[in-house]
Amino acid sequence: MYAGVMNGKIYIWGCGLEVDIPRTGEVFDPTLNSWSELQHPTLDIPPYLELHAVWEEQNRFLFQSTETKDLYVYDAEQDSWALYDSSYGRRRNKAAVVGEIMYVFHKGEVHAYDLDKRKWFKKAVANLRNQGCLPPAHGPLSEEGTLLHLGNGRLCLIWDQDVGDLKYVHCIKFAVCKERYVHRVALVACAVSSSVFYIKGDRILQSCLAL
């Protein structure tokens, strides 16, 4: 089950474990204290999708398939589904959208995808690795990282690691600046700051985010 917030309303999607069970979705309006059913996809969408990012400026939710390289979009205003990019690739972590760019942590780096051009920037966001802010570039932690948009263009990358009976939760805050060259645009992290929180017990990262 996946949930996201758009314009003060809570959207929730779930799907059956069998392919022939339709994907279902509902929206809760706190003002009216009521639930409404969302439209089922009318196009041929794979049965298993993951909520990838919330695109607030366009009133859209972005979903990726767990089985293909497709990226799908749900338009909350139109209550409709569409295929957005058939060659997006597989990025299992949650992404964050700032303006027309979606950022996602993948293989030890923060990568950027241009939502208008529907293509990836060729290079990852620079100036994070050399400040020692990212998880190790290799190993299981290289795939662990959740990006959040804090507002005003600021992002936060959160990742955690277990050290004995403690969980270290790393929070790296940064903005992304554009450096323009003759034939390309480079994305560079600026105003970088980092913090580490120590949590004792079995509380997982998602629980920490809810605090």
Clarify whether residues 142 and 184 are in a common domain. yes
Q: Dihedral sign, CA of 16, 14, 52, 145?
A: negative
Q: Name the domain count of the chain.
A: 2
Domain that holds residue 208: 91-211
Give pTM, 2 decimals.
Answer: 0.84
Under the banding of pLDDT at 50, 70 and 90, the label for residue 141 is: low
Q: What is the pLDDT of residue 60?
A: 95
Mean pLDDT value of segment 187-207: 74
- Rounded mean pLDDT of 91-102? 89
pLDDT category at 175 given cuts 50, 70, 90 is: very high
pLDDT score, position 43: 67
Check if the beta carbon of residue 166 is closer than 8 Å to that of residue 200. yes
Do residues 25 and 112 both lie within one domain? no
* Domain identity same for 78 and 98: no
